[in-house]
């Protein structure tokens, strides 16, 4: 009994010490973020040079550094390829990757489950069903897509959360089972909605369902970037509460965390993040799983660092994966979700075996 109690106090202690050292953590967070952000910018610039069409490297770099103000000898078409096609797609990839990774990181802390991830929990599928309903029945309204995706993600989140709450609390296995049930149910819903569509559109939808960054509007891109950045800031601001929630909801409550409020904030913000990324690019899988875990492996599990770091690393991961998707069989393309899953699934197995 006594040993059990002491071992219970120890992590609390550590968490409390974490609060005392918050200034030191802030410094570390800023340093880590600065380094990672520089890496992201370098990756974006480098990936902007790669594509199915070869652009002159020096001229492209020059144009990128002047933010397109000077064409640096690029022809009109090359300029359009770089700034109207490639860069928006890369930025969308960054927004989607950041959104999904942050959503995954906060689900994992909140639900105290290392396997929690928008795709595996069926939340991406919820957003996908919402998007497809918007496309089939509300095609005329551009904003119906992200709005319905958000609603779908939120409903799926709440259903999975409810299903996972057993008499003995939410075990990791129960949560994953709930996710499987919701995922398969929503997959059937997707099949049902596709039968309501034109035959010619079904092919493009199956592609989109696997995650595809090629087709988006400028408005959705800006919305995606805004939600990714705002969502990361909001969730990073709740990182201390998320740290304490990793001890369990009751302990967190005893330590002064407004558990139900934090839970609601995380659910809404994460649903917004997943909804906006699915509305613009379908379900890109495994990002929310792979990225937070890699970040924790290298930087520890303090959410004050993990949440913002996961956002930037997620952005890097998807930008690189999408560059592979759009160049490997150029000028044809693969869905980016296929690449993230190819990298993510083996890593997932590795993480499962390590537990």
Asked whether 190 and 209 are in contact (CB, 8 A), the reply is yes
Angle at 127 between CA 125 and CA 129, to 5 degrees: 70
Q: Which is nearer to another protein, 53 or 258 (CB)?
A: 53
Asked whether 131 and 336 are in contact (CB, 8 A), the reply is no
Q: Which is nearer to another protein, 79 or 249 (CB)?
A: 79
The site for another protein, by CB under 8 A, has a size of: 30
By CB under 8 A, name the one of 1, 69, 76, 140 that touches another protein.
Answer: 76
Helix axes 336-354, 303-327, angle to 10 degrees: 140
By CB under 8 A, name the one of 215, 248, 299, 345 that touches another protein.
Answer: 215
* Residue 86 engages another protein in binding (rule: CB under 8 A): yes
Segment near another protein (CB under 8 A); pick from 142-150, 155-163, 196-204, 339-347: 196-204
* Residue 142 engages another protein in binding (rule: CB under 8 A): no
* Terminal C-alpha separation, the chain: 26
Asked whether 114 and 351 are in contact (CB, 8 A), the reply is yes
Asked whether 337 and 100 are in contact (CB, 8 A), the reply is no
By CB under 8 A, name the one of 8, 84, 142, 254 that touches another protein.
Answer: 84
| Interface of this chain with another protein, residues 42 to 61, rule: CB under 8 A | 51-53
Segment near another protein (CB under 8 A); pick from 149-157, 209-217, 251-259, 308-316: 209-217
Q: What is the sign, positive or negative, of the torsion defined by CA atoms of 116, 119, 122, 128?
A: positive
Q: Which is nearer to another protein, 53 or 254 (CB)?
A: 53
Q: How far apart are CA 124 and CA 126, in angstroms?
A: 5
**Contact positions vs another protein (CB under 8 A):** 51-53, 76-77, 80-81, 84-86, 195, 198-204, 207-208, 212, 214-217, 326, 330-333
């Amino acid at each position: 009994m006594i040993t059990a109690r002491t071992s219970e106090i120890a992590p609390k202690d550590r968490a409390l010490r974490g609060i005392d050292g918050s200034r030191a953590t802030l410094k570390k967070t800023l340093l880590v973020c600065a380094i990672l952000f520089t890496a992201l910018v370098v990756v974006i610039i480098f990936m902007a040079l790669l594509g199915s069409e070869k652009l002159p490297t020096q001229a492209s770099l020059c144009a990128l550094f002047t933010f397109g103000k000077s064409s640096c000898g690029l022809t009109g078409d090359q300029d359009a390829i770089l700034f109207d096609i490639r860069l928006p797609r890369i930025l969308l990839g960054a927004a989607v990757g950041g959104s999904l990774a942050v959503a995954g990181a906060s689900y994992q802390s909140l639900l105290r489950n290392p396997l929690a991830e928008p795709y595996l929990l069926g939340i991406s599928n919820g957003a996908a069903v919402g998007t497809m309903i918007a496309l089939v029945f509300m095609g005329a309204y551009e904003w119906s897509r992200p709005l319905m995706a958000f609603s779908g993600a939120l409903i799926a989140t709440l259903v999975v959360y409810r299903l996972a709450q057993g008499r003995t609390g939410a075990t990791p296995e129960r949560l994953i089972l709930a996710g499987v049930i919701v995922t398969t149910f929503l997959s059937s819903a997707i099949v049902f909605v596709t039968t309501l569509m034109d035959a010619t559109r079904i092919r493009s939808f199956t592609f989109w369902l696997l995650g595809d960054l090629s087709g988006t509007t400028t408005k959705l891109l800006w919305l995606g970037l805004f939600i990714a950045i705002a969502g990361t800031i909001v969730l990073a601001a709740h990182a201390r509460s998320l740290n304490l929630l990793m001890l369990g909801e009751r302990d967190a409550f005893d330590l002064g965390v407004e558990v139900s409020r934090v839970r609601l904030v995380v659910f809404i913000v994460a649903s917004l993040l997943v909804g906006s990324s699915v509305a613009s690019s379908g379900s890109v899988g495994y990002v929310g799983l792979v990225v937070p875990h890699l970040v924790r492996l290298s930087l520890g599990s303090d959410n004050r660092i993990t949440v913002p770091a996961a956002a930037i690393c997620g952005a890097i991961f998807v930008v690189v994966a999408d560059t592979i998707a759009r160049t490997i069989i150029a000028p044809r393309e693969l869905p980016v979700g296929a690449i993230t899953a190819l990298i993510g699934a083996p890593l997932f197995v590795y993480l499962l075996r390590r537990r």
